[in-house]
Amino acid sequence: MNMIFLGPPGAGKGTQAVQICEALNIPQISTGDILRNAIKNGTETGMKAKSYMDAGQLVPDEILVAIIRERLAQDDCANGYILDGFPRTIPQAEALEGIADIDLVLELNVSDEVLINRLSGRRVCPACGATYHVNMLNGSTKCEKCGAELIQRKDDAPETVLNRLKVYHDQTQPLIAFYEARGKLKKFDGAKDQQEVYAEIMEAIGTNA
């Protein structure tokens, strides 16, 4: 099954996608991770993307569409995948219709107030990619999975978070109506407990499989 996670920054797209992809043995395709790796590796794409990402702005559509076109052509996508963070604009969604058949769009809905709290407290592992909230860490600054020192994402700085939320409401939220009109959207309350959200999504996937 080919799926999309749609939702604002901090809604839990990455958290849920990791768990679901593991359960279904399909790849999680996170455009944020792909871009952050490109920056880390100093590629041309990374150099183009960096200033947009640091400011909480969207990277230009043509760069993202090229990334997705190349990624979806790889063998591991043959049995399904989850797109985490793509599409994020109507032109990206229109371009995707020419690249892939999407079966289901999973929308996670969370209020801005909760999102600001989640993102300002998020810590990530630069080595293995694990994600935490400071409230879960009991004062520790190390990754529970691999022991590396946790970091705060640059775009989780408070003023950048507000900008990312504005960008989401202006440019990405219209995708909800886009996919609703195609009968592909399922909505979830992303403010619920992580495992509860996971169980609801797995049930929805099961009934659509």
The binding site for ligand AP5 (CB under 6 A) comprises 7, 9-15, 31-32, 35, 52-53, 56-59, 64, 85-88, 92, 118, 122, 131-133, 155, 164, 190, 193-194, 197
| Distance of alpha carbon 52 from alpha carbon 159, whole angstroms | 14
When the beta carbons of 7 and 27 are compared against ligand AP5, the nearer one is 7
Q: How far is the CB of 80 from ligand AP5 (least distance, A)?
A: 19
Q: How far is the CB of 106 from ligand AP5 (least distance, A)?
A: 11
Q: Are strands 81-84 and 28-30 parallel, antiparallel or unpaired?
A: parallel
> Of all helices (H) and strands (E), which one includes residue 132?
strand 131-133
Q: How far is the CB of 13 from ligand AP5 (least distance, A)?
A: 3
Separation in Å, CA 104 to CA 32, 54, 77, 136: 20, 30, 15, 32
| Distance of alpha carbon 57 from alpha carbon 163, whole angstroms | 7
Which residue's CB atom is positioned nearest to ligand AP5? 32
Catalytic residues: 13, 88, 122, 153, 164
Q: How far is the CB of 32 from ligand AP5 (least distance, A)?
A: 2
When the beta carbons of 10 and 27 are compared against ligand AP5, the nearer one is 10
Start-to-end CA span in the chain (Å): 7
Token pair for 181: 């009109």
Of residues 34, 31, 27, the one with CA closest to residue 1:
27
When the beta carbons of 2 and 209 are compared against ligand AP5, the nearer one is 2
Sequence-ordered strand ranges (E) for 77-124: 81-84, 104-109, 122-124
When the beta carbons of 26 and 201 are compared against ligand AP5, the nearer one is 201
